[in-house]
Amino acid sequence: MRSELFGTLPDGTSVHRWTLERGGVRVRVLTYGGIIQSAEVPGRSGQRESVALGFDDLRGYLDHPEPYLGALVGRYANRIAGGGFTLDGRTYRLARNNDPNSLHGGTAGFDKHVWEAAEAEHGVRLTRVSPDGEEGYPGRLAVSVTYSLDEAGGLRIAYEATTDAPTVVNLTNHTYWNLAGVRSGNGGAGGHELRIDAARMTPTDGTQIPTGVYEDVEGTRFDFRTARKVGDGIDHNYVLDKGVTERPVEVAELSDPASGRVLSVATTEPGLQLYTADHFAEPLPFAPGDGVALETQHFPDSPNRPQFPSTVLRPGEVYRSETVYGFSVR
């Protein structure tokens, strides 16, 4: 475990990089945005390559914030319709940074702040207090996110948060995975094989807001209950069969037949957003489909959809969420 200076923001704030290494896996995490800069794992040949899209320097993240490469996303991951919600009879207005909706916490979400960092067991613990009213959200939210590696090299991300006023919370990590190796030159992630344990998904309207119903995936291009190629053209939330659980349960597996690398996803969350990165374009140094995001989360627009699992957090309660990305070779 080691920490080093990674760069300096225009206002002079220092950004550090923490390196975690265990079980043959090396992961680098930035204090800026809680970003997973890289995740180096071995393939069938034994060669270790990064499978997480990232930039070599801080400038890359400042110049290209929109893809949220590797970022810790909050206060609310995904979209909230119309940039607002009503809680306990009061309406809150949020930034419409994905017009007409609010996306990933607003214009200056958790991905654009420097977090305090401290060493944790086999990892690093990031903490931050989001003040009442930040990006329009109510309540002073105290957040901690711990990145750690288990004995086999699995990447565990554990989130906790408390509030002093009723609010909504939905945290996730926005890493894009390419199991062939980010610098391998072997093409994008569209040819990877993917399985998701979800018989339903949440269809969306023209602005990518859920319509409020659950739709069966059987017989559609969204059906990944049996592993098949990822393909393209997907940015949708899957309703995981297991629902909300106290402990992480495996819900998905991504594999690259060429390198032999396998990524398993276990989570406590009820949803998984599959995004095939079709909107990557210049000047971003990645092409459409170069990575695939598997974002564990509660559902988009839950604050406006009482039929969805609740994202409300009240004083005296503790928000907890945990996801484990496991690495293996086949």
Q: State residue 194's pLDDT score.
A: 98
Q: Structure tokens of 18?
A: 């923490």
> What is the DSSP-derived secondary structure letter of residue 107?
T
Phi/psi for 227 (5° steps) reads -55, 135
Asked if residues 168 and 92 have their Cβ atoms less than 8 Å apart, the reply is no
Q: Structure tokens of 300?
A: 């988009």
Neighbouring CB atoms inside 10 A of 37's CB total 26
What's the chain's average pLDDT? 97
Which residues are known catalytic residues? 174, 295
For residue 186, pLDDT beyond 90 = no
Q: Which of 36-45, 91-100, 184-193, 281-290 has the lowest mean pLDDT?
A: 184-193
Give the C-alpha distances (Å, rounded to integers) separating 96 from 6, 83, 247, 302.
31, 5, 34, 17
For residue 276, pLDDT beyond 80 = yes
What value, to the nearest 5°, has the Cα angle with vertex 95 and ends 125 and 134? 45
* Length of the chain counted residue by residue: 330
Q: Give kind and range of the element (H or E) at residue 6.
A: strand 2-8
Q: How many angstroms separate the CA atoms of 70 and 124, rounded?
A: 16
Q: State residue 92's pLDDT score.
A: 98
Q: Structure tokens of 202?
A: 């949440």
Neighbouring CB atoms inside 10 A of 241's CB total 14
**pLDDT average, residue stretch 122-141:** 98
CATH classification at residue 68: 2.70.98.10
Using pLDDT thresholds of 50, 70 and 90, give the confidence band for residue 188: confident
Summarised one tens digit per residue, pLDDT across range 5-18 is 999 999 999 999 99
Summarised one tens digit per residue, pLDDT across range 138-182 is 999 999 999 999 999 999 999 999 999 999 999 999 999 999 998
For residue 184, pLDDT beyond 70 = no
Q: How many angstroms separate the CA atoms of 225 and 219, rounded?
A: 11
Using pLDDT thresholds of 50, 70 and 90, give the confidence band for residue 1: confident
**pLDDT average, residue stretch 59-65:** 97
**Residue 95: which residues within 8 A CB-CB, separation 6 or more?**
83, 102, 106, 107, 135, 136
**pLDDT average, residue stretch 310-314:** 98
Q: How many angstroms separate the CA atoms of 278 and 291, rounded?
A: 9
Q: Could you list the residue range(s) of the whole structural domain that residue 156 is in?
A: 2-329
Q: State residue 65's pLDDT score.
A: 95
Helices (H) and strands (E) in the chain, counts: 1, 28
How many structural domains comprise the chain?
1
| pTM greater than 0.85 | yes
For residue 183, pLDDT beyond 80 = no
For residue 108, pLDDT beyond 90 = yes
For residue 226, pLDDT beyond 90 = yes
Classify strands 123-130 and 141-149 as parallel, antiparallel or unpaired: antiparallel
